[in-house]
Structure 1
Amino acid sequence: MVIRDQVKEILELVPAVPRVHKLAHSLRGREYEGPEEESQIDIPKFTLQNAKEEVQASDVELMQGLKEARILNINGELRPISQVYLASILELILNLLVSLSLPPNAVSVETLTSVLADEHEVPRPVSTQVMAWFGEIRGGKWNMDVKEMVMEAGLGILRNHKDEPVEKEVLLAKWASIVGDTFENSISLDLLAGNYLLTPGNAPTLSYFPRSSLPVDPSARFRDLFLTRTRWKVEDITPFLSDIAVDTKERDKLLLKYARGVTDAGGLWYTARAQYSA
């Protein structure tokens, strides 16, 4: 036996967050707002193969990332769907489920996509992909994910209040109006965690503050968070870390590195370890 070398370090494989966020830059200016503007985009196509080459992720992670980022595949081209257009489609779907008496756990894909196409000019490839984002399609039937649908409906309202906060009760009332009596009981602010800042008071208000707009680099992420608020309750800050930490263990490591825990009569708060200035 001949010893050729000695191991001097141990490499440990650990889970990593897929870098799907990199697609945002490549897909800028390609937003899909409906069939009437399909021929107006005069730039080279960005395909699934382009995405695979750019993003360090497995096929499964990439497809999940495209789903979470609401990116359509239109004739082989990747296009982020307009938030306004998506909100419109979801409201149409919720209304049609009631008007056509379709059970949310066994919706005929053919029936729903036909009505959306014929009466509302929503292309079938678009409506089918949107349905797949918010549920499971199997055997021609769509089992709607009520939680995801209700959450997106709430985000559609919240996005209009980035600069002008909305009272909590007003938002909840609008939200209930959109989802209707059938799904009103599924409404919960927990569904919008990581997308808003809550200002307490006699009439609490919410401002749109999505984690997707924050830097992916942990150091820059914490800098922006502590520039926004000098101290955070643990339950308020953790939703803004879920997309940069693969699990709670990794999240706690980030908190130990970039934040300092302080306990007072109001409970546990996190403040910045470094001094930041706007």
Structure 2
Amino acid sequence: MMAESFLQGGHPIRLEFPPASVKESGNFRLLELPPNLLKSIESNSPSTWAIKGNPTEDAVLCAGDRTYSIRSVSLSNSVLVVGPGETQGQITIRGTNREILQVTPILPKVHKLVGLLRGREYDEGREDLDDDFLDGEQDTQNQQQAKKGYLTYAQALTEIQASEAELTNALKDRRILLINGTLRPIAPSYLSTILELLLNSLVSLQQSHESASVRVLADALQDDHEIKPQVTKQVMAWFGDVDEYYWRMDVPSVLTQVGMGILRAYRHDPIDENEFLNKWKNAVGDTFASRAELSLLLGNYLSSTKPQSQPPSNQLTYFPSSELPLGPLARFGDLFLTRTRWKAEDIGPFLDDIAIDRKERDKLLLTYARAVPAPDGTYYTSRTIK
């Protein structure tokens, strides 16, 4: 055993190096916390921390309502991990470290949901089949067997590299129903149908979109269209604020989803912009027609001009950013395969879902694209193009 004495505040401190310290040196990992996480610890704010990742994934830290990458950084000097010794004034070294783990905020890795839920869509015409084992409080043995192929919320919370708050938001953003504990992505066409029925019911039942009765709307869709109330209520919660009695509709999000439902049919063959707008406005009704604007659909379509028409008309093609690769290199590769050059205002919406903020988005553009000034604005081309 080696020891070294020094003074602290006028009092002698004995620092000891027990033989076991060498063996224990690998038992400690030092985590460097950003200010917000450190503050949550110091304030004793209750939150759940978890390190997630299977053997084929990089581990991430899920803390509070954020997800963080974990990166090992080597130190030029060793850091000692110490604890109280057996006698007063004695400190014993428990281990040494020459690296720390740094954590950095990242986007939650929720893309796995797509693969895990493939083939499990909740669609019109399949409700009765699903209800055979998705309804009821007690599961029979056959019902439990049927559920084995489905992903439960508890399983998703364990397997998806995201905090619980981020997972909840992902289920909402990706329109995934929670039915009797299982996760079911709703078919886009069925979702559009439900929203249009809700809009029609608001008018026919003389309900205000700012304070509509949840029970009245849910009962109307069940009685007239055989849509389960638990489905209707979750859809309303995705597109507005719901309390025990009333629904305050989020008008822009409803209009966006209805517009997406119409535009989805024009993935390969474009539609004239004016024709599309007319279809969209008819679908949402006179009350909301004036608020159906293309700005709500940015990042989900390509616009091009049809030069042979007189006067020239704009054509829209369904092109959702949600179907593009998640990796920046692959994302830019697909974008520049689609168009060799992009206006700055056109490419931006297709990067928002892979960048935490505008600063990171601009950094991605600097890394993977080349800015080319032009009389009508800035264009971006691939850095591989000479």
CA distance in 2, matches of 1:11, 1:184: 53
| Residue 253 of structure 1 pairs with residue 330 of structure 2 | no
Structure-to-structure mapping, 1:161-172, within 5 angstroms: 161-172=266-277
Q: Bigger relative contact order, structure 1 or 2, given CA contacts below 8 A and separation 6+?
A: 1
Give the corresponding residue for 1:44.
149
| Residue 25 of structure 1 pairs with residue 135 of structure 2 | no
Q: 2:78 is paired with a residue of what secondary structure? A: coil
Offset of residue 240 of structure 1: 0.5
Structure 1 residues without counterparts, runs of 5 or longer: none
| Residue 240 of structure 1 pairs with residue 330 of structure 2 | no
Give the corresponding residue for 1:117.
222
Question: Normalising by the residue count of structure 2, what TM-score does the alignment of the two structures yield?
Answer: 0.68
| Residue 200 of structure 1 pairs with residue 310 of structure 2 | no
CA distance in 2, matches of 1:199, 1:9: 53
CA distance in 2, matches of 1:106, 1:47: 32
Residue in structure 1 matching 2:160, options 29, 47, 55: 55
Q: 1:14 is paired with a residue of what secondary structure? A: strand
Residue in structure 1 matching 2:382, options 258, 265, 272: 272
Task: Report the RMSD for the aligned CA atoms in angstroms.
Answer: 2.0
One-letter amino acid of the counterpart of residue 205, structure 1:
Q
CA distance in 2, matches of 1:40, 1:270: 53
CA distance in 2, matches of 1:19, 1:207: 28
Give the corresponding residue for 1:16.
106
Give the corresponding residue for 1:231.
341
Change (3 A) 1:158 1:40: farther
Offset of residue 241 of structure 1: 0.5
Offset of residue 200 of structure 1: 2.3
Offset of residue 113 of structure 1: 0.3
Structure with the greater alpha carbon radius of gyration = 2
Report if aligned partners of 2:120, 2:150 keep a CA contact under 8 Å in 1: no
Question: Normalising by the residue count of structure 1, what TM-score does the alignment of the two structures yield?
Answer: 0.94
How many residues align structurally?
276
Q: Alignment identity in percent?
A: 49
Report if aligned partners of 2:78, 2:98 keep a CA contact under 8 Å in 1: no
Offset of residue 39 of structure 1: 5.7
One-letter amino acid of the counterpart of residue 270, structure 1:
Y
Offset of residue 53 of structure 1: 1.8
Offset of residue 119 of structure 1: 1.1
Q: 2:105 is paired with a residue of what secondary structure? A: coil
Q: 1:262 is paired with a residue of what secondary structure? A: strand
Offset of residue 8 of structure 1: 7.1
Q: 2:178 is paired with a residue of what secondary structure? A: strand
Give the corresponding residue for 2:65.
none
One-letter amino acid of the counterpart of residue 116, structure 2:
S
Report if aligned partners of 2:153, 2:183 keep a CA contact under 8 Å in 1: yes
Offset of residue 138 of structure 1: 1.6
Offset of residue 256 of structure 1: 0.5
Q: Over residues 14-70 of structure 1, what are the superposed CA-to-partner deviations in whole Å (9 max), with x where a residue is unaligned?
A: 321111111100100001103134168956221011111221111110000010000
Q: 2:371 is paired with a residue of what secondary structure? A: strand
Q: Decide which structure has greater strand share.
A: 2
Residue in structure 1 matching 2:332, options 222, 231, 237: 222
Residue in structure 2 matching 1:180, options 285, 290, 294: 285
